[in-house]
Amino acid sequence: MRAGLYARVSTHDQQTLPMQISAMSDYVSHRGWEILREVSEVASGATLRPQREEIMKAARRRELDVIVVWRLDRWGRSVTDLLSSLNELQELGVGFVSLTEALDMTTASGRALAGMLAVFAEFEREILRDRVKAGIAQARKEGRPHGRPPTAKRKSKKVWALAQDGMRPGYIAKKLGISRTSVRRILANGEPENP
């Protein structure tokens, strides 16, 4: 069997990428399959996934017999997207294996389980989304900070010092590891006390 491996991480959990690839490679080797294509992608759930589309194109060209993923939610953006892509793979005669859920779409029970898991995965994401929104609302109500820490604001004295040395905002941003917009915002807000 000619296998394609697809690994995806969100920008905040990039450390799992090597673990996903290793687990999939071990599985494929154990089954005696050949790894024909291996793709990795760093993308959040809402963005386009060009690497996933490339592996789907390979499946449409009949270059792959099976696609292996580490976890079902690494493949599908939503229940609709997941079921649509799995149905397309089934029509193409390409198998689909998700290691974490022990899902093998080459069997009828595997296809039924995939549908149920997709529904529960979407349900879990909705619950998480609701919890995050509730936490943010509570933090705002209590006047507590939420979201990313204000890293650029903490560097405002350094921004001003570099600006006074004649450095351009783009260079300052690169040097300090913050965005140009943040540099411009700091400079527009006026010089901090005791720069």
Identify the pLDDT of residue 122.
76
* Integer CA distances (angstroms), 67 to 61, 90, 127, in order: 13, 11, 29
- The answer for residues whose C-beta is within 8 angstroms of residue 7's C-beta and 6 or more apart is 17, 20, 21, 24, 38, 39, 40, 41, 69, 70, 74
pLDDT in tens, 99-155: 988 888 877 787 777 677 777 777 877 888 899 899 889 989 999 877 766 777 788
Catalytic residues: 10
Q: Which two tokens stand for residue 5?
A: 């491996």
* Integer CA distances (angstroms), 145 to 20, 103, 129, 134, 178, in order: 34, 42, 19, 14, 20
Residue 195 has pLDDT above 60, yes or no: no
For the chain, the DSSP string reads -EEEEEEEE-GGGGGGHHHHHHHHHHHHHHHT-EEEEEEEEE--TTS--HHHHHHHHHHHTT--SEEEES-HHHH-SSHHHHHHHHHHHHHHT-EEEETTTTEETTSHHHHHHHHHHHHHHHHHHHHHHHHHHHHHHHHHHHT---SS--HHHHTHHHHHHHHHTT--HHHHHHHHTS-HHHHHHHHHT-PPS--
Q: Which amino acid is at 59?
A: A
Q: What class does CATH assign to 2-123?
A: alpha beta
pLDDT in tens, 17-68: 889 999 999 999 999 999 999 998 887 655 678 889 999 999 999 999 999 9
Domain ranges of the chain: 2-123, 151-188
What is the pTM for the complete model shown? 0.57
Identify the pLDDT of residue 74.
86
